[in-house]
Amino acid sequence: MNSAAVVYPISSIIFLCKGNTCRSPMAEALARKAFNVRGLTGIRVESAGIGEYARGKTAHEYSVVCMARRGIDISGHQSRWVDDIEGFATRYDLYIPIDPEADAGLKQRGIPADKIVFIDIVNPWEKGPEAYDACADEIEEKVNVLAASLWL
């Protein structure tokens, strides 16, 4: 993670992946937890997909189970497509793409480079429950680093 790109103060963050059904909903939930533990309750955390194909779908069942084991309920998650978010290009202080496609999609939409912090997280899609657990572990580690950098 390139934390040098983080501009302070941060009041809103969005995590982005392809469809917003696996990685980015887990990142959103884990970031909220990490921020709350540090008293960073004023940071709005959201997630969305760079692709339209999963719009309105629930979080993947393995993501839901994986988060439940960590005491986090994402069963009510509904995926969102970035182009459905009003004012997307100016709405967030920090955009966190978690795969190369999301990173490219942000650049295509004109998001300034100083507002993007790329975190490469392997897509667990169709790889089984263990892959989702490994993905969540990696996300948790990286969002904890982010939360610590914001805990000033």
- Integer Cα distance of 135 and 59 in angstroms: 14
pLDDT, one tens digit per residue, over 10-49 is: 899 999 999 999 999 999 999 999 999 988 888 999 999 9
**pLDDT digits 0-9 by tens, 86-144:** 999 999 999 999 999 999 999 999 999 999 999 999 999 989 999 999 999 999 999 99
Q: What is the pLDDT of residue 151?
A: 62
Does the structure show a pLDDT above 50 at 5? Answer: no
E strand or H helix that includes residue 8: none
- Lookup result for tokens 């990173």: 103
Q: Is residue 121 within 8 Å of residue 41, measured between CB atoms?
A: no
Please tell me the predicted confidence (pLDDT) of residue 110. 96
Q: Is 126 helix (H, G, I), strand (E, B) or coil?
A: coil
Q: Looking at residue 3, what is its pLDDT? A: 43
CA 32 to chain centre: 10
Q: Tens digits of per-residue pLDDT, 39-86?
A: 888 899 999 999 998 999 999 999 999 999 999 999 999 999 999 999
Domain boundaries, the chain: 3-150
Question: Looking at the domain 3-150, which fold is it?
Answer: Rossmann fold (3.40.50)
